[in-house]
Amino acid sequence: MLKPLSSDNRTAFDLVNVIAGLGLLLSPWYLGYAAETYAAWNAWIIGAAVTLIAVAALFALHQVEEWANVALGLWAVIAPWAQGFSVVAAAMWVHVIAGLIVAVLAAVSLWLGGNRPYSTA
């Protein structure tokens, strides 16, 4: 049976999202694709947004931050193909991995923290 998220779990999820956002934000430099314009700018913008939203969620957990992280995470996953930098392996994989982490954690946080009734099955 799934239990509602405690504040400790929410904090842990938000901290992991901060780390994933920072990882994406810094990845053009440490993975060496800063010269790839679309990939680098996407990483900088999405990474900064995820980080800022996750930090905001640490101080005042609102569903808006979680929904924003779901959207940003999903965009990070599809961006390599939508923006045409899927051939840059390092950029593609860091976007997919960080995007999945962010989107899944935000979705789980929404699911477990949404005061949903438990299944009777």
Q: What's the domain count of the chain?
A: 1
Residue 105 contacts residue 17 (beta carbons within 8 Å): yes
Reported as a single tens digit per residue, the pLDDT across 89-114 is 999 999 999 999 999 988 988 888 75
| Rounded (10°) CA dihedral 36, 20, 97, 40 | -10
Residue pair 62/113 in contact by the 8 Å Cβ criterion: no
- Is residue 118 a part of any domain in this protein? no
Q: What is the pLDDT of residue 13?
A: 84
Question: Is residue 22 included in any domain, yes or no?
Answer: yes
Q: Classify residue 41: in a domain, yes or no.
A: yes
Sheet strands (E) in 1-121: none
pLDDT classification of 119: cutoffs 50, 70, 90: very low
Per-residue pLDDT reduced to its tens digit, 50-65: 999 888 888 775 678 8
Average pLDDT along the chain: 86
> From CA 83, how far away is CA 58, in angstroms rounded?
31
